[in-house]
Structure 1
């Protein structure tokens, strides 16, 4: 099939590579416009755009997928199908109607669970044991289209959203290619999602990532892992924000927010057991080992984490 691939961030790169290596022909790529990045805030092309340009594939960067110029060009290209991975733009019906086999999305959950922008993060935060990926035909309703294929992936006790998304990006890339193969051959039929079991996974905001140290230790651990690498779970220390990038569960006890430091460890109390801080990131600084941070700030007996 002649396909136009739509995707933007790093997790979409594996799928683009897999489709390029398959029997399908990638005739163009659709991605979000260049965005400011780094300290200089210079405009940088998305990871998908960078790969497409290296491969000599035409790159389309509409501000909105409803832009008439974009729709006209897509109509000219006349793809058979448009595979999608984390594109990030709202596709109008006019765009959905162009390819004969529609737009087929690779979504990183077992639908209908965790429809939305942050399925991997929400699966970890909710304490799910298993997640996965699904391919489905895009319809107007959010992640509600009929499903072609599914795979499952266990969530390990130390998995961050970055770890899990990395694995799903690779296994999901193969699922997407298999789906395109089946659609082209006419042997794969999409099935409507069940009405039960729908959960939503909206984007995790910085406000959502604030740690509640009065909550049980397991909930603190899951929020830290679910928000790593972005947006980063955080709390406050001496009135400034402190990101908490990794913790370790223990069997000890302290009052919520209370700190205890030794030469080799920093512990903080929660609503149940203590969690050991492993990696933290003070405001305006790089991530560091928690004991190094504690030595640098010279913890006192009055210091604590979280709202005072």
Structure 2
């Protein structure tokens, strides 16, 4: 069995690890501290896959191992942070996941392959679908189906969004409100919100009902 590493701290990828383990010898790395060149040398993996990794990968690892990251845009369009949210606020209904060789420059490596992904539903639903697509891509790459090709086209960069960008108070349409709520509706994401007087209202589970949007709301007392 081929030996691969999956680097992701997120429970979202627990099932990915299990499914890949049927075909490959899989080692899971869940923390920045565990991702060391010494550990990887001992494992000697064919590939190190990063389905969702928020930390800088040491240069030595990039040099000595085949590192593959997955980015939720049609690169070189959408290099940078928060691709899911940046796509939705731009009105995109679908995208592709790009599997690229990881290099020092952010999201700039050559591409193994791309596969389509719809952007319907909540962030959690989209990420779950993305995990399934990533699993298919990993099989293809390990089996030698992905031929590295340079990125072509104009570079469009995304700025990483922060929690304050989830503020609903400046929006003008119910479609915008729906999109803002759903694109942040996943584990470990800061919810869309409005602040009024002493409270912060956080919204999840948005749905269209006629011309309106219904959602679950939680009231949190704001710190004085």
Q: Which has the larger radius of gyration?
A: 1
Query: Whose strand fraction is larger, Structure 1's or Structure 2's?
Result: 2
Q: Aligned with 2:56: secondary structure?
A: coil
Match of 1:167 in 2: 129
Match of 2:154 among 196, 199, 204: 196
- TM-score (normalizing by structure 1): 0.64
- Does residue 140 in structure 1 map to residue 66 in structure 2? no
Match of 2:167 in 1: 210
Note closer, same or farther for the CA distance 1:180–1:148 as it changes in structure 2 (3 Å cut).
Answer: same
- Does residue 277 in structure 1 map to residue 214 in structure 2? yes
CA offset digits 1:256-303 (Å, max 9, x no partner): xxxxxxxxxxxxxxxxxxx4333111116xxxxxxxxxxxxxxxxxxx
Note closer, same or farther for the CA distance 1:172–1:144 as it changes in structure 2 (3 Å cut).
Answer: same
CA offset digits 1:205-241 (Å, max 9, x no partner): 2211111345233222211111113211000234310
- Does residue 231 in structure 1 map to residue 190 in structure 2? yes
Query: Which runs of 5 or more structure 1 residues have no equivalent in the other structure?
Result: 34-60, 252-274, 285-308
Match of 1:219 among 145, 155, 176: 176
Separation in 2, partners of 1:106, 1:16: 15
Report the RMSD for the aligned CA atoms in angstroms.
2.3
Aligned residues: 217
- TM-score (normalizing by structure 2): 0.85
Please say if residues 199 and 220 of structure 2, whose CA atoms lie closer than 8 Å, have aligned partners that are also in contact. yes
Note closer, same or farther for the CA distance 1:126–1:236 as it changes in structure 2 (3 Å cut).
Answer: same
Separation in 1, partners of 2:153, 2:194: 38
Higher RCO (CA 8 Å, separation ≥ 6 residues): 2
Query: Which runs of 5 or more structure 2 residues have no equivalent in the other structure?
Result: none
